[in-house]
Chains A and B, each alone.
Chain A
Amino acid sequence: MKVADLSARPAVTISPDATVAQAATLMSRAGVGCLVVVEHDQLVGIVTDRDLVVRVLGTGVAPDVRIDSVMSTNVVAIDRHADIRNAISSFHHHAVRRMPVVDGDQVVGLVSLDDLIVALSKVFADVTHGMTAQLVFPHGNDEPPVPALSS
């Protein structure tokens, strides 16, 4: 399964000179908890609803400060053609919950740990469906042995 097969959503972007208040409004309107900060078509950061809580509300920062002062930089991303095992490895090694999905150098979406869990749970459901049938009907397909004919 490829990253592109996950139910990744389009990334909602914001300019680095936008304010924290504008970011919060955009998150609310778009129904997302994460914004990709883009300047001149280049990804420069990422900001989550948790960042707004911890780095803004939690520290008493005014809501009119620029979003690039509270965003996370050094953003880990994943190629849309990568296998989801690479995504799992990146989530594990970098301890992040969301990653921009890129095609070349362009951000084409956002994938979250939740998206991954949902996709994997469907795979597990398919596996357990067969196992459940075997547990409920353990000998359903067994044919009795044919007795040998003695002359």
Chain B
Amino acid sequence: MRARPGSQLIITGHRVGEPDRTGEVLEARGPGDTAPFLVRWDDTGHVGLLFPGSDCVIKELHHSEVTS
């Protein structure tokens, strides 16, 4: 999975009623824009590193979706 700064990261909820978790990718620390990603989470404002799973979706600025 690749992401560029400014991309939106979405982790879908797995249980009924569980909301999606979204954040903004601030930085990709792996080679070639790969994980880990430095993410600012929309719900808490917390900034931290994430190794995304296969259920994670990256939305680029031009709104095309990239999944792993």
- Residues of B close to A86: CB separation below 8 A: 48
- Residues 29-85 of A at the B interface (beta carbon under 8 Å): 42-45, 73-79
Q: With A74-B56, A76-B50 given, is the CB distance from A104 to B44 under 8 Å?
A: no
Q: Tell me the complex Cα distance, A78–B50, Å.
A: 9
**Chain B interface size range:** 10 to 19
Q: With A42-B35, A105-B31, A105-B35 given, is the CB distance from A76 to B44 under 8 Å?
A: no
Check: B55 CB closer than 8 A to any chain A CB: yes
Q: Tell me the complex Cα distance, A151–B3, Å.
A: 84
- Residues of A close to B46: CB separation below 8 A: 89-90, 93-94
**Chain A interface size range:** 20 to 34
Pair A77/B49 contact, Cβ less than 8 Å: yes
Chain B interface residues toward A at CB < 8 A: 11, 29-31, 34-36, 41, 44, 46, 48-56
